[in-house]
Every structure is written in structure tokens, then in C-alpha cells.
Structure 1
Amino acid sequence: RDKLVMIRDRMGIKPFYYYRTPDGVLFGSEPKAILANPLARPRVTLDGLRELLVMIKTPGHAVWDGMREVEPGTVVTVDRSGLSTRVYWRLQTRPHEDDRDTTIATVRTLLDDIVRRQLVADVPRCTLLSGGLDSSAMTAIAARQLAEQGQTVRSFAVDFVGQTENFVADELRGTPDTPFVHDVARSSGTDHQDIVLDAEALADPAVREQVIRARDLPAGFGDMDASLLLLFRAIRQKSTVALSGESADEVFGGYLQFFDEDARSADTFPWLVRFGRHFGDDSDVLRTDLVKQLDLERYTADGYRTAVAGIERLAGESDFEFRMRQICHLHLTRFVRILLDRKDRMSMATGLEVRVPFCDHRLVEYVFNAPWALKSFDGREKSLLREAAKDVLPQSVYDRVKSPYPSTQDPRYARALQAQAKDLLARPSHRVFDLVDRDRVRKAAEREAPVSDQAARRGLERTLDLAQWLDLYAPELVLG
């Protein structure tokens, strides 16, 4: 029929890009596939830099000039008459009629069905286990289902040398993962392995290069990107398919910003309030003149207004319930896509297929429309999930407070970043100094940087990522 039909899954689990040409489109799962064609220029404008530097995931935006991302739940058709777009699914507001007990039972029924479906594979399977509520519930349910078939589920967790013994609690992470991981492994009888990483591996420039190649962009997640890549690489030696607890926080309301009054009331994306408080922002390391040109504050404000404009309100819904609906919607349509993209790039770069049961659209639709009072009926995060999986969880995990994906606390990692930044400073003509402030980088590289100073460490990670990206992709930066 001389027609190309590009269809993306509802939640954006898998990436999909296209680039218009004079007589059609180039398309691929990743920008690197498109940029390999000489018709696609590796060009990034100020608008692309804005999207790169602010964690708001504008739908359809691909950072690279002229490139677009097929949006989740969307069909893009290209034929001789041109290009057309049709949305086949979107997250919609509907009344929720079920009471608490029925809702909890429905969540469990859905989870049982979803996990059973996603365990189907003719290759070795495993679960990613962090010791948090999400991955523990998923692993425990998978273990019970496979036990019925006389099989044992294999589980993997990431850890860092000395992290459990020397862990220092902070506002983000109150407990180390490993003790909880082992509780789940014991109670569910999994064949478990900890993947223990050291600071040298996390800071290895070769690993940073592999991360940037996988992501096509300098995302600035630092050691959390490196550890995910190394974790997936180790898992791939024993399994081909892994189930992940990703997106449960967005579905059930697990992040701290859901309960932070400043984040709830802010006229912006709630996660930016929390991140800014703990990590600062990229303006801390960028050149002052570039910061003014970018005007990230306005870009973020415009993106936020667009994001909340289409969220429907139920008749009779209170102001507070509607605000929490907005926050849930923003996480499910913006924030989760950042993490899903990260997960997919790291896993595909190592040949590991990662499945995300909590992204099943049936579960997403059902829980999204449950009122916030029901999602947090016991005053805690993810109340519905906790109760739905209560019978398969060890008490320690049932009681555990949310802890984000782990980050190393080893001071040797920070010192390695400083040494690499000094090497970069010794190359004063490097293009990265068109973007970052040389003096700020020097101060961060030379200071006594305690591991708790996340903002200083993140500035170094962002600088080194940008430098690596410029070396690998040689993008044409249009800063005027």
C-alpha cells in the first residue's frame, strides 16, 4: 500500500523515533539508528538543550533537531500524501466505584494475572530485586507462581562494596537495600545473587562511554546509570528476560513528593522541587551566559502549563483530590517515561529484555482513578500495593519506608570524578567549555567534596557526561 505505520505501546515502555526527510521519514528504536543516515544531521539547538537539561520529558521531543519521538499510545502513518498522527490510547479520568476491600482484591487479581503473563518465555527468566515494596511484591508473586510448576525464580540485586556496613542514612534513603533483599530471597526461596560493584567500576571512563552510547544523550544520572548498565551486563550472563518493579511508584503514589507539601503545592512538576532541594540544578555548572539564553525557568513553566491543561476533573472532586490526580497524571505521563527510557537503553545495550508488569495499562487505568484517599488510606505510600501483596511479603519489607534506586556513598567515587575533571580542565579547548563554566568545574574538582554533597558530585557527573557526548557524537550545537 506504499504506507508506513509506526505504532508505540500505551505507556512508552519501548522507544521509537522518526526524522522527516524531503520524501518520507527515517525511523528507528534509537536516535543512533537515525543519525547513522547522512540525511539526518546531528544538530542540537537551544530548545534541544533545554529538553536535555530539564527533567520534564516533553511528549514527542527527541532533543535532536528535526527528530521526533512517536508518543506513547500513538499511531504515526506516512504515505504519499504525507504524515498523519492518531492517538489510540490516553490516560483518562473515570469514576472509581469500588470500596477499599474490593480495590485491594482487584489490584491483587490484576497483579497475579500480569505477572503470570509476563513470566511466559522460552529463555531463562529472573527478577530485579531491590528489597523495596514494588520489586519484592513482584518477585514474591512470581516465586509462588513458578513454585506451582516446580520451578524456582532467580533474582538479582545491585550493591556496592562496603555500602551495607558503612551506610549513612539521609532524607532520600533511610536504609540500605541488601538486608531487605535477603529477607525476600529467603521468604520466597529465590535463587538469589547480589551484583556488588566497586567505585573503580562505577567511575570507569569506559563505562561512561558505554552509557552515553546506550542513551545517545548525556542524561546526567551519573553512578546510577553506570550501576544499572553493569547490573544488567552481569545478569545477562545468566538470564535473558528480567521482570522489573519499575513504575509502581508512579502508579501507586510512592515517591516522597507525593507527600511533600512544598511539592504538592508548587506550580511546577513536583519532582523538580525534591530534586532541586537535594541536587541543585544544572545552572550550578553551566556558563552564566548560556543559563540566560536557555531560560530554563520559562521552559519548565510552559511545559507544566501544557502538561496539566488536559487533565480531566471528576464532577464533585475536591480541590485536594484533583491536585493529587494531577500529580499522579504527571508522573504517569512524564516522569515514568524518563525512567522507562533509561531502563530500556541500558538493558538493550547489554542484550537483556526487561519487562515492566506495573506498566500494564489495565492496572494503570484502574489505580489512577482510585482517589488519593484510597491510595494512601493508612497514611503511607503505596497503601493499595502493600495490602494487596501483604500475604507474600516479609514483615520487614511490609514495614519499610520507600527508598529510591541506590547510589554509592563511597568517597573514592567522588575522588575519581574529581581526578577526571582535572584531566578535562587540562584540555582548555574542549567543546564542553562552551557549555559549562570552567571556574565552577575547577572549584568542584579541587574542593574537599564530601560524599554527602550531592550537588557538587552531580555537577561533575554532568560535565563529564557532556564532554563524553561531545566526543562521541560531535553534535552541531546551535546556541544563537
Structure 2
Amino acid sequence: MCGITGWVSYDRDLRAEAATLDAMTETMACRGPDARGTWTDGPAALGHRRLAIIDLPGGRQPMTADTPDGTVALVYSGEAYNFTELRADLVARGHRFTTDSDTEVVLRGYLEWGDTVAERLNGMYAFAVWDGRHDKLVMIRDRMGIKPFYYHPTPDGVLFGSEPKAILANPLIRRRVTLDGLRELFTFVKTPGHAVWDGMREVEPGTVVTVDRTGPHTRVYWRLDTRPHLDDRDTTIATVRTLLDDIVRRQLVADVPRCTLLSGGLDSSAMTALAARQLAEHGERVRSFAVDFVGQTDNFVADDLRATPDTPFVHDLARAADTDHQDIVLDAHTLADPDVRAKVLRARDLPMGFGDMDASLYLLFRSIRDHSTVALSGESADEVFGGYQQFFDEEARRADTFPWLVRFARDFGDDGDVMRSDLARTLDLPSYVAESYRTAVSGIHRLDGESDFEYRMRQICHLHLTRFVRVLLDRKDRMSMAVGLEVRVPFCDHRLVEYVYNTPWSLKSFDGREKSLLREATADLLPRSVYDRVKSPYPSTQDPKYALALQDHTKDLLARPDHPVFDLVDRERVREAAHRDTPVITQAARRGLEKTLDLALWLDLYQPEIVTG
């Protein structure tokens, strides 16, 4: 896992721009604390920060290959879990290797197959190849968008990076956000390719972007297609288990300490139990980590989102799977620490966070990094197998919008609740969301004979796998890489995603519950308590001291009446939330405080030019 960046400028010799390339590369230091490297050749400059996972002595980057027609150079972030098979294939085709790294396999794969190497990779990756034979840059991102990848066209080329901060470090770029960028900040729709910063784009998942002297060209090499599912229930369950066994076995490969993230829910428990069984075959125990809050279990109050605290279920699974387990217990003061908020915001580059859920994730990962370099996560199982409440909520099912927005409005309120009314009228978020939704559902293919209900559930599954999951994957990547921890997501293996997506909803919920296929596929590994547990989202603190701390920080902000955040948020609504009695502060009100504090900090740290005209 690493951080990559680069610059292509056809009108200049970038060997004279070493200082700028260094500045761009150093923004990725947290993603790659083990090594750095840069490479420049005429119009192309590449930068790399390395987190060493496979072949620790080898695999340094940028990695180059000299050919009779020019040099081919690679900067690569991620993991190719099938690199041993690809290496054997390439050796049989005459290639010779000097390292044991998957990076060299990707480079040699590009030399052999060009940009179609992407279609042969199983993994999470974002990489860029400067092909000196044709004076072109090739940028490729994994199918599900697990690894982030951004680029910014320029008049004579392109800038790119794992994160926006690498691109923003180049003096060519204006830190500018227009109306559409603000719309992305205040909605939860994740428009594909949109990067909020004006002129900046994402390399979309499953896409190759090639830049030559005529500009950027895009080719989609993978999309989530509709196909008939012919397997019966028993065969489907068995296939899911076979896939999971293979996926976890591949993703446990590393030359550094590994662990799992364990929440006590079905997803992380199944993944941890699979890992524990496979490592036990080699006489090893898996390490597992869970986040908890001081007093949370003893004082837990059930609500519409969370019926039970995590910790008892975490401990049940840890005992059953015999993991070497550790709880990371956080207090309200630490969660609300402004320094932690700043670290989270710098990691994400944008005020799009989840408040204490972001802070706790960052602090969890920071603690884990003292023990492990690689962690396996249960992220994305809800999107793949149908685990969220909105999959079963009739209002969300029927709504002519993204179904999670129905649940969010009910449970968390709306980010726009704190927005100034004049800005709200200008942004017209309902129209933006409606248009985004129409675009998102327009290309979802319906099978011949598929019932209206099954097709609607297919749409909901597709929306979660192509829009919703990308927000959560980006969050997990940014929080983990901010502390140099690689988090792998077995449930995002494209083979599993394709197979389960095309199972009809009647199979995904054959027992009337969420994630029926996953539950039955791993039933032999789970304690009964975990098997029977109802879905509970990522935990959030219930400690009133956290809300009090938010109010205090917001009061400090209100004491600065000239702060530019009040050009975006309604001062009186924020003041009301900051002075509300703590016992009656709802999660929605707390969310408004979080959004305001994040926006203010972002304006302080990034000083963006906000264009609302």
C-alpha cells in the first residue's frame, strides 16, 4: 500500500521541477512511511511513498523497465492478490523478474498486455504508467474503487495523485470549489468521477484513463452487469463459502503482521472466523481488534439504529475463534479533541466526515498500527449481501430517490439543516439529488421476466454497490492510510460482488432476514449469539460528555462572528444547537454541530475559494 503522485507536461522539461514534485510526493508521506522515490524524464515526473507489505527489500518505486523504444515507468498503490499466478504466466512468456513484489508483476503485465492488464488483476489498486514508447500516461483504478485516485487535466497535460492534497500541492492548481462542489459536500449521493475541487476528477472505478498530447481518453474495463442466476439455494450458499475461503486465503498473504477488525456483527465475525481457521492450519492465531467507548456497554440505550452494544458479541466471537483479541477503548474527551478532528479532516481533504465515527475509526487504526501493518475488514458486506435497514424499509423501497437518504433523514437529519437559507435556494439540493438518482438508475439492466419487486431490489443493490459503498471505502482508506495501515476488504472481491449481485432478492433474504446467504455460508463458524444478532451499524458514542464538548467547541466558533463558515451555515440555527440542553440533543442536532465544526476547520486549513455565483 502506498501513495502515488505525478505530473505530465508536454510543453516543458519537468527535470527542472524537482522541488514541486517533491512537495507533491511528501503530501503522501502518511500513506507510505517506509520509503520515498521520484523519477523524471522530460515531460513526465512520478512520485511514490511506500508502505512495504510484500517483498520488503524489493518493490521500491517508481519502478522502470527499459525497452528498445523507450522507458516504461510505474507508480503503484495497492495489492494484486493473484500476483503469483500472473508472475508464473509472465515467466512462461519469457519475462524475467528481479524482485518478488507484486509491483513488478503489474509492470511486466503492462509490458505484455498493455492497459488490458487491469482485466487480469484481482485486488485493490490505483496505478499510473508512463509509457515512454508512446509518450502517454495510463492511469488505472480497481473495479470497486477501493483505492482512491484523482487527476486534474492541465492545458498541456495532467496532474494526478492518490489524494487531492497531492494535486493541490502543485502551484498550477487553484483551491476552488463551485456550486456543484458544494452540492457534493451537502448531499450523500457520490457522483461518479466528481472530486469536489473545481477541475479535479476521480479516475472512476473499473476505468482506464489515458493521457496523451491530445488530452485524456477514458475506457471502462469493468462494470456491474446484470446476468441470469441459475444456481439453487444450496449451490449458491456453497459457492459463496468457496469464494470467501479463497478470498480470505489470498488476502492473508503479507510479509508483515496481520490482524482483523472485529465489531461483533455478522460481516466482521464471519471474516475473522475464516481467517482464524485458515491461520490455525499453520499454527498461527489471528489478532483481532475492536473499538469501544468508556461505559458504553454498561450504559447502553437501544435506539432505532442499534439494538445492542458491540462488545459482548465481539468477545463471543473472539472466544469461539480463539483470536488474540484487544479492545481499543476511547473516551469522550479524546473523541472530541480538536487535534483529532484536524487529523481526520486532513486525511479526508474535505468536510464530509461522520463525526465521532470518523474520529473513533482513526483512533482505532492508530492504535492497531502499533501492532499490525495489515488489517482485514468486513466493510462492504452490507452492500453485497443486503444488510442495511433500508433494504427492508417499505418507504425507502418505494422512494423515488436513493434509499439510504430516506433512512438518513429519519435517523440523522440532513446536512442541509444548518445551511443558510439563501445558499440552500441557490444550491437547490433536491433537484441535484433527483437528477443524480435518475442518472444512477438509468443504466441498470432488467432481466427478461424479472418482477417489478425483484427489479426494484436489483436497483437498490446496484445503487449501494456503485454509489453508497464508494463513500465508505474512501473513508476507510483515508482513515487507515493516515496512520500507515493497510486495510483489505475481502467482501469487495469482484468475483463475489458479481455473483451475489445477480442472485435474486428472494435468495438474498430467503429466511426473511438481512444477509441470509452470508449467514448460512458461514454458520458453522459463528457462535449462536452472533448468528442471531440483528444488523447494527458502526458504533457511535452515547456519552453526553461528547455532545457537551461539541457544544463548547461550537460556542468558541460562534465567538468569531467574522469566520467565513457563517457564509455557509445559519448562525442562529448553529447557536440554538450549541445551547440546547444536552439530554435532549438528538443525533441529528449533533450532526449539525459536527458539520459546522468540520466546515470551519476545512476553511481554516485549506482556504478554498468558494464560488457561489
Q: What interval of TM-score do these two structures reach, taking the shorter chain for normalisation? A: over 0.9
Residue by residue, what CA displacement relative to the aligned partner does 1:372-401 show, whole Å, maximum 9, x if unpaired?
A: 000000000000000000000000000000
Task: Please name the residue that 1:53 is paired with.
Answer: 186
Deviations 1:346-392 (A, max 9, x none): 00000000000000000000000000000000000000000000000
Choose the corresponding residue for 2:545, options 386, 406, 412: 412
Question: Are residue 307 (structure 1) and residue 451 (structure 2) matched?
Answer: no
Q: Specify the alignment match of 1:319 in structure 2.
A: 452
- Once the two structures are TM-superposed, the CA of residue 452 in structure 1 deviates from its matched residue by 5.8
1:220 and 1:458 in contact (8 A); partners too: no
Give the match for residue 161 of structure 1. Answer: 294
What are structure 1's unaligned runs of at least 5 residues?
none
Provide the TM-score with structure 1 as the length reference. Answer: 0.99
Q: Determine which of 335, 338, 360 is the counterpart of 2:468.
A: 335
Residue identity matched to 1:133: L
Paired letter, 1:235? I
Aligned to 1:32: 165
Q: Distance in 1 between matches of 2:577 and 2:186?
A: 19
Matched with 1:188 is 321
Structure 2 stretches lacking a partner, 5+ long: 1-133
Of 251, 269, 272, the match for 1:139: 272
In the TM superposition, what are the counterparts of 1:372-383 in structure 2 within 5 Å?
A: 372-383=505-516
Q: How far does the alpha carbon of each residue in 1:165-217 deviate from its partner, in whole angstroms, 9 at most, with x for none?
A: 00000010000000000000000000000000000010000000000000000
Task: Quote the residue 2:396 is aligned against.
Answer: 263
- Mean alpha-carbon deviation: is it higher for 279-288 or for 40-49? 279-288
How many residues align? The count is: 480
Report the Cα offset of residue 223 of structure 1.
0.3
Paired AA for residue 387 in structure 2:
G
Q: Is 1:273 matched with 2:406?
A: yes
Question: Which of the numbers 382, 402, 405 marks the counterpart of 1:249?
Answer: 382
Give the counterpart letter for 1:83 in structure 2. Answer: P
1:436 aligned counterpart, secondary structure: coil
Which deviates the most, 447-456 or 195-204? 447-456
- Is it true that 1:433 corresponds to 2:563 in the alignment? no
Residue in structure 1 matching 2:601, options 465, 468, 477: 468
Using the alignment, how far apart are the partners of 2:293 and 2:477 within structure 1? 23
Deviation per residue, 1:65-90 (Å, 9 max, x gap): 00000000000000112210000000
Question: Aligned letter for 2:135?
Answer: D
Give the conservation status (yes or no) of the 8 Å contact 2:186–2:416. no
Q: CA deviation at 1:449?
A: 3.1
1:414–1:451 Cα contact (<8 Å) kept: no
Structure 1 Cα separation of the partners of residues 581 and 253 of structure 2: 51
Alignment map for 1:64-463 (pairs within 5 Å): 64-450=197-583, 453-463=586-596
Q: For residues 75 and 144 of structure 1, what CA distance do their matches in structure 2 show? A: 38
Q: Distance in 1 between matches of 2:436 and 2:582?
A: 34
Following superposition, the deviation at residue 134 of structure 1 comes to 0.2
User: Residues 449 and 456 of structure 1 are in contact (CA less than 8 Å); yes or no, is this contact kept in structure 2?
Assistant: no
| 1:450 CA displacement | 2.7
Answer yes or no: is the 8 Å Cα contact 2:270–2:525 preserved in 1.
yes
Q: Which structure: greater helix fraction?
A: 1
C-alpha deviation, 1:451, in angstroms: 6.3
1:219-255 CA-to-partner distances (Å, cap 9, x unmatched) read: 1310000000000000000000000000000000000
Q: Tell me the SS of whatever aligns to 1:450.
A: helix
> Alpha-carbon deviations, 1:90-143, whole Å to 9, x = none?
000000000000000000000000000000000000000000000000000000
CA contact (8 A) 1:411 1:451 kept: no
Give 1:121's aligned amino acid. A
Distance 1:3 1:75 in 2: 12
Q: State the structure with bigger RCO (CA 8 A, min sep 6), 1 or 2.
A: 1
Distance of 2:610 and 2:584 partners within structure 1: 33
Q: Map Cα deviations across residues 29-79 of structure 1 (whole Å, 9 max, x no partner).
A: 000000000111110001100011111100000000000000000000001
Measure how far apart 1:324 and its partner are: 0.1
Q: Which has the higher strand share?
A: 2
The question of whether the paired residues in 2 share the 8 Å contact of 1:163 and 1:408 is answered with: yes
CA–CA distance in structure 1, aligned partners of residues 415 and 357 of structure 2: 17
What amino acid maps onto 2:535 in structure 1? K
| Alpha carbons of structure 1 residues 380 and 232: separation in structure 2 relative to 1, 3 Å | same
Q: CA deviation at 1:283?
A: 2.2
Q: How far off its partner does 1:280 sit?
A: 1.3
How far apart are the structure 2 equivalents of 1:338 and 1:14? 12
Distance in 1, matches of 2:280 and 2:367, equals 25
State the distance in 1 between where 2:492 and 2:415 align. 30
Contact 2:547/2:585 (8 A) holds in 1:
no
CA contact (8 A) 1:229 1:346 kept: yes
- Tell me the distance in 1 between the aligned counterparts of 2:156 and 2:582: 53
Give the aligned partner of residue 23 of structure 1.
156
For residue 447 of structure 1, report the CA deviation from its aligned partner. 1.0
Once superposed, what is the RMSD of the aligned Cα atoms?
0.6
CA distance in 1, matches of 2:424, 2:582: 24
Q: Deviations over 1:441-473 (max 9, x none)?
A: 111111103366111100000000000000000
Are the counterparts in 1 of residues 193 and 203 from structure 2 also a CA contact under 8 Å?
yes
Q: Deviations over 1:281-314 (max 9, x none)?
A: 1221111101101100000000000000000000
TM-score, structure 2 as length reference = 0.78
Contact map agreement 1:409 1:451 (CA 8 A) in 2: no
Alpha-carbon distance between aligned partners in 2 of 1:278 and 1:105, rounded to the nearest angstrom: 36
1:9 equivalent to 2:142? Answer yes
Contact 1:123/1:239, CA 8 A, preserved across alignment: yes
Other structure's SS at 1:194 match: strand
Q: Distance in 2 between matches of 1:450 and 1:54?
A: 28
